[in-house]
Amino acid sequence: MAKAKTVFFCSHCGYESVKWLGKCPACNEWNTFIEEVVDTGNAKDKNEWTQYNIKNNSTETTKNSKSQLLKDIQGGEEYRILTTDPELNRVLGGGIVAGSIILVAGEPGIGKSTLFLQNVLKLNQIKSLYISGEESASQIKMRADRLSIKNDNFYLLTETSTQAIFKEIKNIQPNLVIVDSIQTMESNLLEASPGSISQIRETAAEFQRFAKETGTPVFLIGHITKEGSIAGPKILEHMVDVVLQFEGDRHYSYRILRTFKNRFGNTSELGIYEMSGAGMRAVTNPSEILITEKDEPLSGSAITASMEGQRPLLVEVQALVTPSVYGTPQRTVSGFDLRRLQLLLAVLEKRGGFQYGSKDVFVNIAGGMKVEDPSIDLAVICALLSSYEDVPIPSSICFAGEVGLNGEIRAVNRIEQRISEAEKLGFEKIIVSKYNRKSFNIKKFSIEIIMLGKVEEVYKYFF
């Protein structure tokens, strides 16, 4: 009987070693190596799945194993499958590219399976195969009934063995494959358990070879760890063409689909969805839902014109400044960087003379959004000043500017798109940096544009 082969893997980055190591030489983490059985000596050929002779059914191109001159290669746009979801099309760079392999990760219960099940069901003209390794066929049928979408070209397979999956793919010849999830798949070529580093790497490699050699797009739905990273080896993210992260707060109905890697489009795009009883609804104008409706003006609130990828968003910033009851003042944020808040408070104390050192400061981004755009600085400053003075800022004014350490209001990019979005939503005034003066033509807009250069000027304008 052949001897079993065991290998040690780093559970943090997937580094492989023939012996146990205390410290991983790749990621420098300690005590992360685990032993896995990768071969018992009875494994078959690594390319066993190719015996199924799966034909290319998504594109007419064939794989060329010979080297070619770059000038002789025919260029052009990739063939894409357009879905009925405009948010997903935007995040993918214009649609699903033939032969691409896409990894989608997110918290459990966030709605990954629901999102892609409803998008696949709406593609009536595309023969699709949904492979589930976590749920039974009756569970998926119940979810499809709740979505109330009919599709005669939708096939469902509940299987975890990749060898059995590729046999079924040969019979069905699908144009699109969804794998839910990659952590439940197992290959007979390895003796390790499903979800182990070696199994995730091998099964993902098999689906990658299938996608590239047949031109069939493949979606891999994945799990994430408690630290928020994608479960499995880091090489999993290198093997795929697109990495998407589906995130959101359980206390809000909104979900965000972010792009972390995209070989066919922009990595700064994102899509916004709203969870409802009928599935995920694409939010085409998120600015309206991210601005809280109020009967009367309240202090500590300011609207900022931020950018998420290529899309302008108007987001409400809320701040609360109160005297500190305890000895150490609190600094609490939601949807904003805590270190950035401490920097802005230091600017207000140094340049404006405001005593925030004895105050509790709370900052919240309305709607459960997480904003990283530096143009939100000016709105945070104004919200803090409004709460400090207990004077409300008119709801018809919005802001777009970055604040520097010297108290100057710095210019931001894509200022024309921000102004156009504010004008479209009915704002009367927008305050921007005077250093943005050369970036746009002020005569193009009917909204009043106020250009300021210092935080002190903003304070004098409002208070």
Q: Which residues are annotated as part of the binding site for ATP?
A: 106-113
CB-based contact 189:198 (threshold 8 Å) = no
Detail the residues annotated as belonging to a binding site: 106-113
460: nearest Cα among 400, 410, 391, 402: 391
Judge contact between 243 and 237, C-beta under 8 A: yes
Residues 6+ apart with CB under 8 A from 429: 394, 396, 397, 398, 447, 448, 449, 450
Q: Name the one residue in this structure whose structure tokens are 């990894």.
A: 103
Would you state the structure tokens that stand for residue 125, as one six-digit string? 């003209």
Question: What are the backbone dihedrals phi and psi of residue 273, each rounded to the nearest 5 degrees, phi first?
Answer: -130, 160
Helix (H, G, I), strand (E, B) or coil at 273: strand
- The closest alpha carbon to 183, from 219, 228, 226, 231, belongs to 231
325-353 per-residue burial string, b: 16 or more CB within 10 A, e: under 16: eeeebebebebbeeebbeebbebbeebbe
Q: What's the rounded Cα separation, in Å, for the pair 330 and 337?
A: 15
Q: Which of 417, 447, 446, 411 is nearest to 432 (CA)?
A: 411
Residue 217 phi, psi (nearest 5): -70, 140
- Do 286 and 259 meet the contact criterion of CB atoms below 8 Å apart? no
Q: Give the CA distances from residue 316 to residues 30, 176, 283, 319, in Å, rounded to whole numbers and listed in that order.
A: 43, 40, 17, 10
Assign 3-class secondary structure to 112-130: HHHHHHHHHHCCCCCCEEE
Residue 48 DSSP SS3:
helix
Token duo for residue 148: 């109330």
AA letter at 328? T
Q: What is the 3-state secondary structure (H, E, C) of 359-405?
A: EEEEEEEHHHCCCCCHHHHHHHHHHHHHHHHCCCCCCCEEEECEECC
The residue length of the chain stands at 463
Q: Is the dihedral of CA 205, 211, 212, 214 positive or negative?
A: positive
